[in-house]
Structure 1
């Protein structure tokens, strides 16, 4: 009975974080909740007895993607634009 309750709690937390990520107007908050979603998803994979997928979800889903999204939000908040070459205008990547 306790396992069912924990699974139900995990599913509720996953749905709540997914909805909070999609409905958030603040980009930073959305990324932080997305990282929390990735960590909860890793716990769900552990509950499904798939530790290899849980490790991949933690490393890629919550870790790497979260860091890249946080970096993108910081660039967006500073107002830097990205040129076609992939470098920001503020860094001297203006096209000629």
Structure 2
């Protein structure tokens, strides 16, 4: 019974990983794509933990989901602000 539950959990993890990857790649909104990328990294960390690779799981959670996600969120915020400035017609640095 335990083996069946673990196999079902592995299948659920695999399907969740595929769904998150597809959703992140096809998302039209950059912020949503980054949030899905972070969720993908966290689920991937669970997969690494399930495969008994705790070093990879920690690295994926810290670097893949945490650091990369934070940098991508900051980049999307900055790009959105830059786009608003460009749409208003005022050059950078001028009110």
Q: Is the structural similarity TM-score above 0.5?
A: yes
2:59 is equivalent to residue 56 of structure 1? yes
After TM superposition, the structure 1 = structure 2 runs for residues 34-45 of structure 1, keeping only pairs within 5 Å, are 34-45=37-48
TM-score (norm 2): 0.83
2:17 is equivalent to residue 14 of structure 1? yes
TM-score (norm 1): 0.83
- Name the structure 2 match of 1:31: 34
Computed over aligned residues only, the root mean square deviation of the Cα atoms, in angstroms, reads: 1.0
The structure whose RCO (Cα within 8 Å, separation 6+) is larger is: 2
Helix, strand or coil for the counterpart of 2:52? coil
Aligned-residue offset at 1:79: 1.3
Aligned-residue offset at 1:3: 0.6
Note the alpha carbon deviations across 1:3-55, whole angstroms, 9 max, x for none: 11000000000000000000000000000000000000000000000001100
Is the helix fraction higher in 1 or 2? Answer: 2
Runs of 5+ in structure 1 lacking a partner? Answer: 81-88, 91-96
Helix, strand or coil for the counterpart of 1:19? helix
